[in-house]
Each structure stands twice: as C-alpha cells, then as structure tokens.
C-alpha cells in the first residue's frame, strides 16, 4: 500500500470518527430541554442605544468605506472590466483565476450591501456573458473558483432576497462544471482541475488541504440546496 493511500485512509477514518461524534451530539433529545433563565448565548451582538456622537462617527466611517470601495470599483471598471484583477499601480489587468471576471463576481454582494444598485445591475448584465462551461485557462484552481465565483453568486443571490434568477442560473452552470473535479477515486476534489485533458476518473493528489475539502463541500452542498 502506497504512502498516499495510507494518508487517504487515515483522513477518511478521522473524518468518519468526527462525523459519528458530531451526529451523536446533534440528536434531538426526546424530552425538550427547559431553562430556568434565558440562554446567555446569542449570534448577533446586542448593541446599546446609540448616542448622537456615536451615530455621527458611524455614518462618517460608513461614508469613507463606501468612498474607498467605489474608488477601487471604478479603477477595476475602467481598466480591468471582465478580467479577474486590477494591478493598481500599473493600471493593467491580470487573470489568475481563470479569467471569469473574479473581482466582478466576488464583489456582487458588496455592491448590493453598500447600496450601489446601478453598478450591481450593470454587473449582473455582464455576468450573463460569462461562460462558466469553458475556462480561459488550462487549469482551474478549484478552491479559489469555488469561494470567489460560486460563493460570490450564491451570496449575492441570498443577500438580494432571490430577486435575480441569473445568479442562481450561473451558479448552477459553474457548479456543474466544478462537480467534475470531485470525480476521483476517493471523492476528494483535485486542487487544480486540468479540464481539457481526457480522463474517466481523475488521479487524486496527496497535498490537498483539509480546509479546501471542507470549504468545497460546504459551498457545493449550499449550491445544491438552493438550486433544489
């Protein structure tokens, strides 16, 4: 048995033990738990009543954040539109993430949250012209593509209340493509997918980071849940 196979078996055993232990603690008890006092735990921080001085500071900070974002977005829009990244000093563009306009897609939710709705709609129109079935590179970085593109579109779809079906359509298109990277003997996705090479089953790799596996699985499952 090779070292790589031993590593995969060890990883599989560790994940199995974790899932079993987690499942045991996640089983809903037959008798509902009762508390004599409210739970001290909460997800959202409970803010105190805001003073007029604190409000002025908050609004001033928000203004500067929106101004900085718009400056960066304008630079990308003017010099690197439909490319992945802008080099701010040279004004040139780069395509390290397959050339599917990573900044545009990854920034969709930020555009919506910050209230730049005209730019958000413009970006949605551009999104329609991105073909997620055909990369503009020989290999696809699966982890980066998942979090920047698939995660970006699902996040924007959620934050905008599901009002823009194009986000889900394109997420489905990309999800179908990325799903091929999971076609390995052990189900662990390859870190880089050489999509043009003919293959039936991809050869697994031994240098896959656990965080990559977890994030890919989480976002892929989220995509399936939203699409279903």
Are 101 and 130 spatial neighbours (Cβ–Cβ below 8 Å)? yes
81 has pLDDT over 70: yes
**pLDDT tens digits, one per residue of 89-147:** 999 999 999 999 999 999 999 999 999 999 999 999 999 999 999 999 999 999 899 99
Alpha carbon distance, N-terminus to C-terminus of the chain = 40
**pLDDT tens digits, one per residue of 176-187:** 999 888 888 877
CA gyration radius, the chain: 22
- Find how far residue 165's CA is from the centre of its chain: 18
Q: Is residue 29 part of a domain?
A: no
Q: Is residue 7 part of a domain?
A: no
Residues linked to residue 202 through DSSP beta bridges, in sequence order: 184
Q: Is residue 21 part of a domain?
A: no
What pLDDT does residue 154 have? 94
State the total domains in the chain. 1
Q: Is residue 106 part of a domain?
A: yes
What percent of the chain is modeled with pLDDT above 70? 70
Give the whole-angstrom CA distance, residue 45 versus residue 38.
16
Q: Can you list the positions of beta strands (E) in the chain?
A: 85-86, 93-94, 140-141, 192-193
87 has pLDDT over 90: yes
CATH code where residue 126 lies: 1.50.10.10
Query: SS3 helix, strand, coil % of the chain, rounded to 5?
Result: 55, 5, 40
Token readout for 126 is 């551009």
Q: Is residue 167 part of a domain?
A: yes
- 180 secondary structure, DSSP code: G
Q: Is residue 19 part of a domain?
A: no
Q: Is residue 18 part of a domain?
A: no
36 has pLDDT over 70: no
3-state secondary structure 90-128: CCCEECCCCCCCHHHHHCHHHHHHCCCHHHHHHHHHHHC
**pLDDT tens digits, one per residue of 141-176:** 998 999 999 999 999 999 999 999 999 999 999 999
Give the whole-angstrom CA distance, residue 16 versus residue 201.
23
Q: Is residue 14 part of a domain?
A: no
Provide the domain limits for residue 150. 53-227
Give the whole-angstrom CA distance, residue 16 versus residue 126.
43
Closest CA to 159 of 220, 117, 103: 117
30 has pLDDT over 50: no
Task: List C-alpha distances in Å: 185 to 47, 64, 151, 182, 201.
Answer: 50, 50, 26, 9, 7
218 has pLDDT over 70: no
Residue entry with tokens 């050869």? 203
């Amino acid at each position: 048995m090779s070292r790589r196979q031993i590593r995969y078996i060890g990883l599989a055993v560790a994940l199995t033990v974790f899932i079993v232990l987690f499942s045991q603690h996640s089983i809903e008890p037959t008798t509902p738990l009762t508390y004599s006092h409210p739970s001290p735990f909460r997800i959202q921080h409970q803010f105190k009543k805001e003073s007029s001085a604190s409000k002025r500071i908050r609004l001033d900070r928000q203004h500067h954040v929106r101004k900085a974002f718009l400056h960066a977005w304008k630079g990308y829009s003017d010099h690197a539109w439909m490319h992945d990244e802008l080099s701010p000093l040279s004004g040139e563009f780069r395509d390290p993430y397959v050339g599917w306009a990573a900044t545009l897609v990854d920034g969709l939710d930020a555009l919506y949250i910050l209230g730049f709705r005209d730019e958000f709609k413009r970006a949605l129109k551009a999104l329609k012209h991105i073909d997620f079935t055909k990369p503009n590179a020989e290999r696809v970085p699966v982890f980066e593509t998942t979090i920047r593109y698939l995660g970006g579109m699902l996040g924007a779809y959620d934050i905008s209340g599901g009002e823009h079906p194009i986000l889900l359509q394109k997420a489905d298109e990309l999800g179908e493509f990325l799903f091929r990277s999971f076609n390995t003997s052990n189900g662990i996705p390859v870190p880089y997918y050489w999509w043009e090479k003919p293959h039936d089953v991809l050869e697994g790799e031994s240098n896959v980071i656990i965080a990559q596996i977890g994030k890919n699985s989480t976002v892929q499952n989220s995509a399936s849940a939203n699409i279903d």
